[in-house]
Amino acid sequence: MRTVDLFAGCGGLSLGFARQGFNVVGAFEFWPTAAACYRANFDHPVSETDLSNVDAAVAEIRAFSPELIIGGPPCQDFSQAGKRVEAERANLTECFARIVSEIRPRCFAMENVERARLSKAFASARKIFKDAGYGLTEMVLDASRCGAPQKRKRFVCLGIQGGEDGFATEIIESRLSKTPTTVRDYFGDSLPFEYYYRHPRNYNRRAVFSVDEPAPTMRGVNRPVPKGYPGHPNDACSLAERPEVRALTTAERAQIQTFPADFRWIGTKTDAEQMIGNAVPVKLAEFVAETLRLALEKAENVGKTTE
Ligand SMILES: C[S@@+](CC[C@H](N)C(=O)[O-])C[C@H]1O[C@@H](n2cnc3c(N)ncnc32)[C@H](O)[C@@H]1O
């Protein structure tokens, strides 16, 4: 199925869909470093067009004749960390919906932070999708129940032209793992550490995690253990007793985001950390892609039996 990825970043979503057999033919990403990183890992073209210019974007995307449009519009304005104000960027969710409604591919998959689900921008996007004839499945997925060793919650909206609302709900529920994937489950016993440090947003939150639990969300910044780290009662171990505990490396964070070890990172370390933090875990993307594939197969079989 011909697929185009919008707001593609370094390509986490694309990689998951490609692994599930979708034919990704083009990507759109206006940050030159992320576009370069994407190009280093995929063979199809990446356009640096600004997708907020919907008319220009539609003309360019239409040339790929996509049957599926996927994308994760940027989420800073919805994110827990932000000021909880919906500003300009939230409108990119609407831009995604307008692009989909004008091109009318057979289906689409949109990913965003959990909070986006209840945002005004998504309410407006939902109306645009519905007016364009899409049946929708909306769900918050925890990546650790979808094969990634990370407690990262993401809102996913799938659409199929002419479908029923909730068309994929049962498929999703039947495929979520019963227990979350831990870091040790994913990497096995090859890990060189038992505990690691993830810098908290503030010291009311813990910062030390064990490999026997899912990792916390990999954000776009990575800091070493600060000299005066005061500790937290819920830390998985005390740094006073285990001074060897360190922050994860960029490569380790990428692998917790379930990128393969040979994925090529372009730009500075700060750029790579940002792209890693922005990305959809590849395993979560695969889960969403497989869900959509199964839903499309189901829709086709229903069509056949009612002919
Ligand atoms: C949440 S990240 C996407 C991550 C990607 N789905 C992945 O799995 O790696 C959003 C991306 O949208 C890009 N972006 C933001 N505004 C844009 C615009 N107006 N046009 C095109 N890309 C834009 C950002 O540079 C960022 O890389």
Decide if 157 is catalytic: no
Which residues are bridge partners to 139 per DSSP? 156
Residue type, 10: C
From 155, 278, 280, give the residue whose CB has the most ligand 1 atoms within 8 Å, as the site to mutate: 278
Instruction: Dump pLDDT digits (tens) for 247-303.
Output: 999 999 999 999 999 999 999 999 999 999 999 999 999 999 999 999 999 988 876
* Domain residue ranges in the chain: 2-176+278-306
Instruction: Dump pLDDT digits (tens) for 137-174.
Output: 999 999 999 999 999 999 999 999 999 999 999 999 99
Query: What pLDDT score does 302 carry?
Result: 76
Cβ atoms 143, 152 nearer than 8 A? yes
As a whole number of angstroms, the distance between CA 249 and CA 275 comes to 14
Instruction: Dump pLDDT digits (tens) for 59-116.
Output: 999 999 999 999 999 865 655 544 455 555 558 999 999 999 999 999 999 999 999 9
Check whether 33 has a pLDDT greater than 90.
yes
CA 73 to ligand 1 centroid distance, Å: 6
Spell out the alpha helix ranges (H) of the chain. 12-19, 32-41, 54-62, 91-103, 120-131, 169-175, 183-187, 250-256, 269-278, 282-306
As a whole number of angstroms, the distance between CA 156 and CA 264 comes to 27
Ligand 1: atom nearest CA of 73 is: 10
Query: What pLDDT score does 164 carry?
Result: 95
Determine whether domain 2-176+278-306 maps to CATH 3.30.1320.10. Answer: no
Using the Cα atoms of residue 263, residue 269, residue 272 and residue 273 in order, give the sign of their dihedral: positive
As a whole number of angstroms, the distance between CA 29 and CA 50 comes to 8
Q: Which residue ranges have their beta carbon within 6 Å of ligand 1?
A: 7-13, 28-31, 34, 50-52, 72, 74-75, 92, 278-280
CA 231 to ligand 1 centroid distance, Å: 35
CA 245 to ligand 1 centroid distance, Å: 33
